[in-house]
Amino acid sequence: MQKRSLSILAAACILAGLSLLSCGLDDVPYIAQLPEPWHTSFSRANIDLHIASGSEYFARFTIFYKIYLSAEPGDAPFSAINPMLNTDFNAMRSWTDGTTTGTDVGGAFRARRFLRLGLEGADIGAVLGHGAIGETLEIDFSQEAGRTPRLHLNGSAHYLRRATRGEPPLGDFAPVPAISGSLPFRNHLDLLNPDNRTDSINADVAPTIPAYSSFSYVLMYIVAEGTGFGLPPVHVFSRPTFLGVFRLPQW
């Protein structure tokens, strides 16, 4: 009798354990990928910020970027603009097209040294928070003299700001040019100077610098970012959506 009781107890424990293990399998945090931009060029992109599923986990939209120097002045294949731009774009394609089945989207961007876009004088997490769902986002790199690249959303415009820190192993850095405290996405001699391409200065610029580089471009992706339920909370990213490659306007 004692042996039978122990067997029943063991079976109950196994069943309970299996039940606990299976509880979360159908509740994996997930946010759907954003649709592709309905317009993109070297100077502008427009994208509808719709989330097909997973809005209960959503916190904000996040834009990742990386700058590349180039000797190419106009529309050209990515490989002609900068070979590392072409390499990064091809590496991220498996994430954007769904070929890669992993979930560590943040790690993929970190491994390729992409950084989070900021805004001048505004919290981009608030600007691209819940109020942005269902709206149309425009990224504007118009090549007009004296015009600073900006983000348009909900009838407001915000100047884009370069990052000053990255996730480990990349830490804080001090990018140039810095004009009266602002860090605009504008082509400038300080940006083009190879001596400034270090982890402590222009860490957001790719280290491959073609000879006679006189121009600069930025590669951008957008994701929906959020937090799953549970303890500890699980960080959630949608698959990235390619926003475009934009040419930085001249200073």
Answering whether pTM is above 0.85, one says yes
Determine, yes or no, domain membership for 3.
no
At 27, the pLDDT band (50, 70, 90 cuts) reads low
**What DSSP designation does 23 have?**
H
Give the model's pLDDT for residue 4.
44
Please answer whether residues 114 and 67 qualify as being in contact, where contact means their C-beta atoms are separated by less than 8 angstroms: no
20 inside domain: no
Largest separation between any pair of C-alpha atoms in the chain: 90
Residues 69-121 have pLDDT tens digits of 999 998 899 999 999 999 999 999 999 998 887 779 999 999 999 999 999 99
- Is residue 112 in a domain? yes
Q: Where are the alpha helices (DSSP H) in the chain?
A: 2-23, 78-81, 83-96, 105-111, 124-127, 189-192
Segments forming the whole domain that contains residue 232: 30-247
**Contacting residues for 166 by C-beta, under 8 A, at least 6 apart:** 110, 113, 115, 173, 203, 204
22 within some domain: no
